Amino acid sequence: MLWFLNKMCTSKARLEGKTVVVTGANSGIGRETARDLYARGARVILACRSMEMANKAVKHIKNNPPSRVNKSEYKNNAGELAIYSLDLSSLKSVRDCAKSLLTNETAIHILINNAGVASYPLYEKTEDGYETTLQVNHLGHFLLTLLLLPKMQKSSPNCRIVNVSSLAHILADIDFDDINLERSYGSFKSYAQSKLANILFTKELARKLKEANLHGINVYSLHPGIIPTRITRHGDKALFPGFTFCCNIFFHLFYKNAEQGAQTTIYCSIDEKVANETGLYYSNCGVATPYRMANNHQYSEKLWNISCRLLHLNPEEDFTTILETVSRQVH
């Protein structure tokens, strides 16, 4: 790993009494993020599609401290781990997961929208009728966030929502007339579009919270770095044979391992310096400038409106009313 590409989160913050939800926490940077926050004393909820993988992740996390922590200190100071079922390719599963969280958890302080898919070789739609990458990477998280916001409001101040995006957004545009890419699907195009959506959603949510005078919840988006995780598993079929091999050569020069790749997520979740920042984009444990499409205010508003409509919500309503409407969907 090239040393200058890799910064670690240096905050010593403890998280006793805090509850954190991490989507896609059964492998890769999601699991490393969960491990770090668990080591800091948080109650960490692994919201995962595969219960089998989630159970393995819990075992792995409990037995292997982060590199900065020794084993006995880890055992004595760690928090709690819990598993909830969440399949972002099903809006019913998103609502069921939210309902369980709202019913069983007394508070939610940090929501980390980490789960993601990339490079589906063939065009695929979910049971809800939306392009799979769009729904898993953006729309499912959009819905989950709206559903958990009232609980986070009650848990504030100092609550955070962290959306894991990617540098891939620099190659993206959003085709608002064909957001499901029915006419122009490309596996990388769908991934890049969804990662641009993560940043636009972050900006618009921060604006909506401010406009509605809802304080105490900050929103962050980030590029974690180039990490060889399971997200590239469809690359050989979707892009070209040998894609994974080429990735591995490239990764060997530039990659971060999963623990290093989780650092910016951890930084946005806990660092004291960013406690008063919201709506910004981060890379390598610092504020970064996203590509110009991500800075287009009309884009973020347009994406918000279309996302609401896809979820049968009225974007013309004020934010508080939208939250009340979406809450009724789970009761």
Catalytic residue list: 191
Beta bridge partners of 44: 20, 81
- Phi and psi, residue 187, nearest 5°: -60, -45
- Break the chain down into helix, strand, coil percent, rounded to 5: 50, 15, 35
DSSP letter at 330? T
Residue 150 near residue 327 (C-beta atoms within 8 A): yes
DSSP secondary structure letters along 246-274: HHHHHHHHH---HHHHTHHHHHHHH-GGG
Distance between CA 45 and CA 48 in Å, rounded? 9
Report angle CA 317, 319, 324 to the nearest 5 degrees: 85
Alpha helix segments (H runs only) across the chain: 28-39, 51-63, 71-77, 91-104, 132-134, 140-155, 187-211, 235-238, 243-254, 258-261, 263-270, 297-310, 319-328
Residue 28 near residue 60 (C-beta atoms within 8 A): no
Q: Evaluate the CA torsion angle 71, 73, 76, 77 in order and state its sign.
A: negative
